[in-house]
Amino acid sequence: MPRFFPALLAACLALPGMPACAADPLILGYVARPGLAEVIDGKPAGTYFPTAVAAAEKAGFAVTLQAVTQTRLMAQVQSGQPNYCAVGIFVTPERQMFGKFTLPIYRTPRFIVIAARGKDGAIRQHKTFMSLIEDKQLRMGVIEGYSFGNTLDPLMAAMRGNVDRYVGTFDQGFAKIQAGRFDYMIGFADEFDNWVARTGASRDAFSKIDFPDVLDGVHRHLMCSRAVDDATIDRLNTAIQLLLLHP
């Protein structure tokens, strides 16, 4: 697992009044997402991943990175693994029962509906997202265990008969749309191009559809296990505030 130490001394000096640097590394678990969370040439890269690593370092922690699946990521936090935080997680009531959340590190853009080009006509006939998910003739693909936050999760949980829940990734979902297993899925505009590239398909093979009643994106946080003490959460929050005020 990659470890990052370069900013550690500077981090300790950057937060006056805090305890000395922690002896144990902070493990940051993450799901690799090209363009959002990945390691390139040994360095954290993406829209929110570098912020998470920089916050941990500024808070005085050596950092160990652990790339895992979404299911494993949640299991690590839920099991109470010491010194463990998951990166880029949405807050839900269920997760708040077994994890501790920091301040936000990133806000996603608006949600979009993704469909196969040429098969999106029936979807575009709907003028609102609520109307779409009530259409029993159109099936939505949903990754088992994945959360879109407190607004969309209850809506999708209530769907019956027109939802296909699968274990896998978003790029696998694109392939399932092409194969006709389901008609559409929900995604994020900032991940669309990377998902398409991973399928090997042309970008023109898919449509991005906006609906006026789909709310703006949601915040991503660090979600730490209950074994992580409140002082560590406070240090991380202070570091996040400093980074976002002075990136």
Total residue count of the chain as it appears in this document: 247
Residue 246 pLDDT: 66
Is the backbone of residue 39 left (phi > 0), alpha (psi -120 to 50) or beta?
Answer: beta
**Alpha-carbon torsion 170, 171, 177, 179, what sign?**
negative
- CA 219 from chain centre, in angstroms, equals 9
pLDDT averaged over consecutive 10-residue blocks of the chain (247 residues)? Answer: 48 48 83 88 94 97 94 94 96 94 92 91 94 95 84 87 87 88 89 78 86 82 98 97 82
pLDDT of residue 20: 53
**Vertex 221, ends 216 and 227: CA angle to 5°?**
150
pLDDT number for residue 170: 81
Domains along the chain? 3-108+218-245 (3.40.190.10), 111-209 (3.40.190.10)
Encoding tokens for residue 62? 């050596």
Q: In what order do the strands lie in the sheet with 184-188?
A: 163-166, 140-143, 184-188, 111-116, 206-209
